[in-house]
Chain A
Amino acid sequence: MEIKSMQFKARAAGSLANVALQGNLKNAKGKFVTKRAEAIRDLDDFEGTRDAAAAIRNKVIDNLDLWLERFEQKARDTGATVLWAKDGAEVCRLVIDIAKKHGVKKVTKSKSMLSEEAGLNHALEAAGIQPVETDLGEYILQVDNNEPPSHIIAPAVHKSLDDVADLFHKVHGTPRKTDIPALTREAREVLRGHFLSAEMGLSGGNFLVAETGSVALVTNEGNGRMVTTLPKVHVVITGIEKVIPTLEDLSTLMRLLPRSATGQSISNYFSILTGVKKPEEHDGPEHLYFVLVDSGRADVVGGDFHAMLRCIRCGACMNHCPVYQTIGGHAYGWVYPGPMGSVLTPLYAGIENSIDLPHAATLCNQCGIVCPVKIPLPDLLRKLREKQTERGLRPLTERIGLRMWAWVAQQPKLYALGASFGARYLKWLAGGADRIRVLPTAPEWTLGRDFPAPQGKTFRELYAARRKSAAT
């Protein structure tokens, strides 16, 4: 997917100015936050389960090569083919090769963020193969000129009911309707024909189970089952970090994933798919492929951002992020938005291509508190800021300003003088009022709010005067 993260600020401004989007974001925030809180409350030992989940994920990523080999062996034993992709281009090439080998003209897709990373739909179309998104949210986006998703589990969350009503009326040529079940039925009717005629199904994978060579899929619409069982060929595309050791581990992680994501104790559908159709079985694919994708993940292993590989893609961090809640996912400019995206985008798409993202957070740590696998997201964002500074990627004025300030703060007398001057300057700017309307030294502050005026003298001046008068 094309990266537009360098335009973060302009895109965020666009989001703020979009009245309809602001309404949709407000609705989404309420639902996600409230439902998760209720679901977590029902869990006996949330903190203990979090610790266990983080330990499972650490166990894997600390010896990733070993667990991947174990998964590969087991998956092969079940009749699956395991392929490895270095990057997005290789994902596209491998999937197109598989499609051509099996004479595929149409591919039905269940949700896959990896295919978004790779820009797979575009590549398939260019190769003469029709991709059909079957997750309702993804379908809505595909028929709306291939709009990118704005959330990792609710891709069309930025759209309102009216937006979808207008869209379906236009693309389906049917009378406009605003009844949600009726709109869903309309999409089902369109998709049914695709499910039956596609020669290949493509899905992501929430977890890969090394013990059994299985892929676990968490969905709410049933489309995942159609995609993975009806066509003769099923291709799973997922990141190499998604492997977990055992089915027991899967059950631990599944106590947290739906609760953290949508506030459900369990998703409507939860599938564990193992191997190809056996002679005595009635359904399932004849050919099963795993495309396991690196795309920057292996480089993260063992480094400063290792903990990020624990991520199980629940989206709780973005749902609870004050910045995401305010601007939505498109502003972030790539596949993954919110706090996890502001870490992943620099790591996978280039630190130099996403300069604003690590700074686009208040470091309030609400994301760290809700993360089911305890990823210290604010620490990782801060570390990325440090990397940017080390590599000289921040604006020169900012770097000089920070160094100057840090140097002055080490010289108490000079600092005291600077603070006295600063307090008086701000007081002068306020011109006798209790606020400053335009702050020339930090104009961004006063774009949307006033800056309260200082008292006028610094604490250290007043304290010294008080001590002096007490002494005399």
Chain B
Amino acid sequence: MRVGLFVTCLVDLMRPRIGFAALKLLETAGCEVIVPETQTCCGQPAWNSGDAPGAVALAKKTIAEFEGFDYVVAPSGSCGDHIRTEYPTLLGEEPEWRDRATALASRTYELTDFLVNVLKVDSVPGDADGLIQGSVTYHDSCTGLRSMGIKEQPRALLAKLRGIQLKEMDGCEECCGFGGTFSVKFGEVSAAIAERKCNNVLASGARAVVGGDLGCLLNIEGKLRRMGNETTQVLHVAEVLAGRV
């Protein structure tokens, strides 16, 4: 099974270890993983900012890079959904590209969804490593949850780690306030929404908050630290599941 790993631009720039964690998880499960080196960004920021031509150009670029694989996997519900749901829409007026987008869409997955529902993994490498121990709480990122149905998959995988207990927080499905460019256009409102999320994280008493989208995690970590919290770890689910990379 040849899997194209879509690293995402944010992971590339900010947290390469999440990309390596995803790579380890997929390879451990027996996939042949290829990371196309020309990949950049899926184009979601352009699409959500009203730059349709930019979004269309990046969609075509990404489709051309990834359509040769059996599957495309991204450690992000947001980017994954952009490829799966939005590409066929935004290329709707170009039949040839729309068909290529639709064909790719059906083979595009968010990482935890892929591990659970396609690979049906029995175990995850992080269990043996025991890198992270103790209680964690899970933040459901909006697009993954509401558009891709990512809810039970990460929880099912975390349950395979013997050193970890899941403590659900109040409002785990509520938006953290990130919203891509929203976070820099309306910084104060965004940070105020993040504060509610962080209060729920802290109230859960968990040692770490775990999520599947780096944008949300940077937002939550940034707010926790500004609130003076130095101890709560903020981790991508791939890091927790993969252990040492």
Contacts and interface: CB of A to CB of B under 8 A. Distances in A.
Of the candidates A362, A394, A398, A460, the one having the most CB atoms from chain B within 10 angstroms of its own CB is A362
Nearest to B195: A448
A402 interface: yes
Interface in A1-15: 9, 12-13
A174 B189 CA distance: 39
Contact of B9 (A388, A419, A452): A419
Interface of B, secondary structure class, is helix
Contacts of A409: 9, 40-41, 43, 58, 61
A457 B16 contact: yes
A188 B86 CA distance: 53
A326 B61 contact: no
Interface residues of A, number: 65
10 contacts: A361-B182, A365-B146, A406-B43, A412-B37, A423-B14, A426-B13, A444-B190, A448-B187, A450-B226, A454-B13
A169 to B, nearest CB: 32
A21 to B, nearest CB: 12
A402 B49 contact: yes
A338 to B, nearest CB: 13
Interface string B11-37: 111111101100000000000000101
Nearest to B181: A359
B50 A386 contact: yes
B14 A454 contact: yes
Contacts, number: 205
B25 to A, nearest CB: 15
Interface string A419-458: 1001100100000001100000011111111111011011
A388 to B, nearest CB: 6
Contacts of B41: 409
Contacts of B39: 412
7 closest A-B pairs by CB? A448-B191, A362-B179, A444-B187, A406-B54, A385-B50, A389-B50, A364-B175
A462 B16 contact: yes
A172 interface: no
A464 B11 CA distance: 15
Contacts of A364: 142-143, 146, 175, 179
Interface in B116-170: 142-143, 146-147
A362 B61 contact: no
Nearest to B220: A449
B200 interface: no
Given A406-B51, A410-B58, A419-B12, A445 B146 contact: no
Contacts of B189: 12, 16, 323, 326-327, 360
Contacts of B180: 362-363
Nearest to A419: B13
A382 interface: yes
A433 B99 CA distance: 47
Interface string A345-361: 00000000000100111
A423 B13 contact: yes
Contacts of A365: 142-143, 146-147
Given A12-B188, A386-B52, A459 B219 contact: no
B218 A452 contact: yes
Given A365-B147, A442-B184, A447 B191 contact: yes
- Among B13, B177, B180, residue most surrounded by chain A Cβ atoms (within 10 Å): B13
Q: Which of B16, B189, B195 has the most CB of A within 10 A?
A: B189
Given A362-B193, A409-B43, A445-B187, A458 B218 contact: no
Interface in B186-245: 186-196, 218-219, 221-223, 225-226, 234
Interface of A: 9, 12-13, 16, 322-323, 325-327, 356, 359-366, 368-369, 382, 384-390, 394, 398, 402-403, 405-407, 409-410, 412, 415, 419, 422-423, 426, 434-435, 442-452, 454-455, 457-460, 462-464
Contacts of A443: 187
Given A402-B49, A446-B187, 16 more contacts: A322-B196, A326-B192, A359-B185, A363-B142, A363-B143, A364-B175, A366-B175, A368-B146, A369-B146, A405-B46, A409-B41, A448-B191, A449-B223, A449-B226, A450-B223, A462-B16
Contact of A385 (B49, B143, B191, B195): B49
A445 B183 contact: yes
Contact of B222 (A323, A398, A435): A435
What is the interface residue range for chain B against chain A?
35 or more
B43 A455 contact: no
A463 B113 CA distance: 24
A89 to B, nearest CB: 32
Contacts of A442: 184, 187
A215 to B, nearest CB: 36
Given A389-B50, A410-B40, A464-B37, A448 B226 contact: yes
Contacts of B46: 402, 405-406
Interface in B40-66: 40-41, 43, 45-55, 57-58, 61
B174 interface: yes
A459 B45 contact: no
B72 interface: no
A444 B8 CA distance: 23
A452 B193 contact: no
B7 interface: yes
A444 B19 contact: no
Contacts of A369: 146
Contacts of A322: 174-175, 177, 193, 196
A405 B49 CA distance: 12
Contact of A445 (B7, B45, B49, B184): B184
B87 interface: no
Nearest to A331: B189
Nearest to A436: B222
B222 A16 contact: no
Nearest to B175: A364
A365 B183 CA distance: 16
